[in-house]
Amino acid sequence: MLDKATIEEMRAYILGEKDRLESELGSFAKENPQAEGGFESKWENLGNSEEDNAVEVAEYINTIGVERELEARLGEMRQALERVDNGTYGVCANCGQDIPPARLKIKPEAIYCIPCSEKLQR
């Protein structure tokens, strides 16, 4: 088990990251529980000329790409928080060994220890 101080440190870090991602997503997307990932990019209406419409489509496609990335990261942070809350954070989901805090600080969403993650990626 990780010591309490480390867990609290990681919880604070994950919460901060989650807030940051939510506000970043909120700046160009609106929350929609029905949408995949929980957010929906806003469509920006720049005008009605053909050129405006082409730019709108290009920007929307770009925005959706960013949205997907942020949502994926946000999902990882939410899952990490759940593991903090249910006491399984920092324990390898494959072998049950502790994940070294040094690894969690680089990769807070890690669910496997390094040997397992290398083994599973092969």
Q: Is 91 in the site for Zn ion (CB under 5 A)?
A: no
Distance CA 14, CA 12 (A): 6
Which is closer to Zn ion, CB of 6 or CB of 94? 94
Among 14, 29, 74, 116, binds Zn ion (CB under 5 A): 116
Binding of Zn ion by 113 (CB under 5 A): yes
Q: Under the criterion CB under 5 A, does residue 72 sit at the interface with Zn ion?
A: no
What is the dihedral sign for C-alpha 53, 54, 57, 63?
negative
Cα–Cα distance between 23 and 47 in angstroms, integer? 27
- The span from the first CA to the last CA of the chain, in angstroms, equals 27
Contact between 6 and Zn ion by CB under 5 A: the answer reads no
Where do contacts with Zn ion occur on this chain (CB under 5 A)?
A: 92, 94-95, 113, 116
